[in-house]
Structure 1
């Protein structure tokens, strides 16, 4: 589930953005804020994957604009590398937002559905957003994991242990069922395990085990009897 925060004080534009994004990506969560303060509150209480910010946010208080909001958000450690898209009615703002905030896309008002779709495609290709999970550990620290880098997942007493090509993580904000549902890759092979089939090197139908390997690391994972046929079908 990917989270987008739209910060825009024009409700018509906000509704248009929400409708288009929800139509294209119905599983995504879209939040909206019509003020600088509300945007910060949402950002602090959620883990946002993409910001869409109105450059001319507050006409009555020019310091509370999208540019300054972007700077403040970038100073929050978890959003240091989070992509930002800016909306503006004035093309002369583009230079500052690209150079100062390194935004990778901007929308010139008025824009259409095709512009939003093009923007989202570029963001997805740039940051692999569609394959990324925000994992929160027992200390409340967030890590971002790409779907394709997960080797296998094991659940034990409401805690997930996720083994990836780089490291292993204890995860407190996903259940095994939820992770499998949102992943395009993982296959459940046991009530407590899910695996990435690209790492399979052997499947033993007599001992009900599957062997996974990444470089010199080898993992032997049990196969539950009720999952055997499903696993075999998905591997065909």
Structure 2
């Protein structure tokens, strides 16, 4: 799934743009921000594949946001598309920030769809840096959140309507969060579903052994608890394990 951040302080304009992006490809996860601070926070907590940034943001500018993104190692070469009403801003954007393109307001639907499809295509999509620390924020209970390093997640388990995050730092229990939603938030190519109630980090797998004709047990390096692997997910997990 492609992660896109739309930084636009006008909620109506933002909703219109997101609707157009979804028409280009429904298999996208779109983050929204109306300020530089909110956009930077999201960008640090998640991996963003590319950005749509309004030149004029609340209490700041899209140019300043882009310059701060370029300081972050993982976004040094990420694709940025600016949203503007004044083409003069684009001279600085192309020279100093190396943006990919720009779109003028009001939005041209065909242009938005065309640019989005080009960026989603393999020729323009950048691969996240391997072994780079990336964090995701989960709400454990109302008013209490925890920031977890994605690389430290060993496996995820759903049990009695609770989602359990097994990590190198300990076990976290979350209520009212589906497994597929958690995987969407984590967005890691190494953490994949292995069973209707489990998802595993293939980097930690040490052994896979059969416990029945259509079910296997997964053991992990340096972790005593085990996960399950079902027949429907066997081929995908085994292929990643062997790499």
TM range (shorter): 0.5 to 0.7
Q: Residue 194 of structure 2 is aligned with which of 179, 187, 190?
A: 187
Does the 8 Å CA contact 2:67/2:97 hold for their aligned counterparts? Answer: no
* 8 Å CA contact retained: 1:187, 1:196: no
Structure 1 residue 53 corresponds to structure 2 residue 53: yes
Answering whether residue 25 of structure 2 is matched by residue 19 of structure 1, we say no
Q: Could you tell me how far apart the structure 2 residues matched to 1:44 and 1:181 are? A: 19
1:67 deviation in Å?
1.8
More strand by share: 2
Q: CA RMSD in A?
A: 5.1
Q: Tell me, in whole angstroms, the C-alpha distance in 1 between the residues paired with 2:216 and 2:24.
A: 41
2:91 is matched with: 92
Deviation of 1:22 after TM superposition, in Å, equals 4.7
Contact 2:35 2:60 in 1 (8 A): no
Deviation, structure 1 residue 53: 1.3
Identify the residue that residue 67 of structure 1 maps to in structure 2: 63
8 A Cα contact 1:152 1:162, kept in partner: yes
Q: Is the 8 A contact 2:156 2:164 kept in 1?
A: yes
Cα gap change, 1:12 to 1:106, in 2 (>3 Å): same
CA–CA distance in structure 1, aligned partners of residues 11 and 227 of structure 2: 54
Q: Shift of residue 159 of structure 1?
A: 4.8
Going from structure 1 to structure 2, the CA distance change for 1:112 and 1:144 (only over 3 Å counts) comes to same
When the two structures are aligned, how many residues end up with a matched partner?
204
Change (3 A) 1:64 1:178: closer
Q: For residues 225 and 216 of structure 2, what CA distance do their matches in structure 1 show?
A: 6
Q: Tell me, what secondary structure is at the counterpart of 1:205?
A: strand
2: CA distance, partners of 1:204 / 1:162: 22
Among 137, 152, 156, the alignment partner of 2:155 is: 152
Of 122, 142, 145, the match for 1:140: 145
Q: Which has the higher helix share?
A: 1
Partner of 1:203: 209
Q: Which of 100, 104, 119 in structure 2 is aligned with 1:106?
A: 100
The alpha-carbon deviation at position 179 of structure 1 amounts to: 3.0
Structure 1, unaligned stretches of length 5 or more? 33-37, 99-104
Relative distance call for 1:14 and 1:213 in structure 2 (3 A) is: closer
Higher relative contact order (CA 8 A, sep 6+): 2
Secondary structure, aligned partner of 1:68: helix
- Within the candidate set 161, 167, 172, 2:165 is matched to 161
Note the C-alpha offset of 1:203: 1.8
Q: What CA distance in whole angstroms lies between the structure 1 residues aligned with 2:67 and 2:184?
A: 35
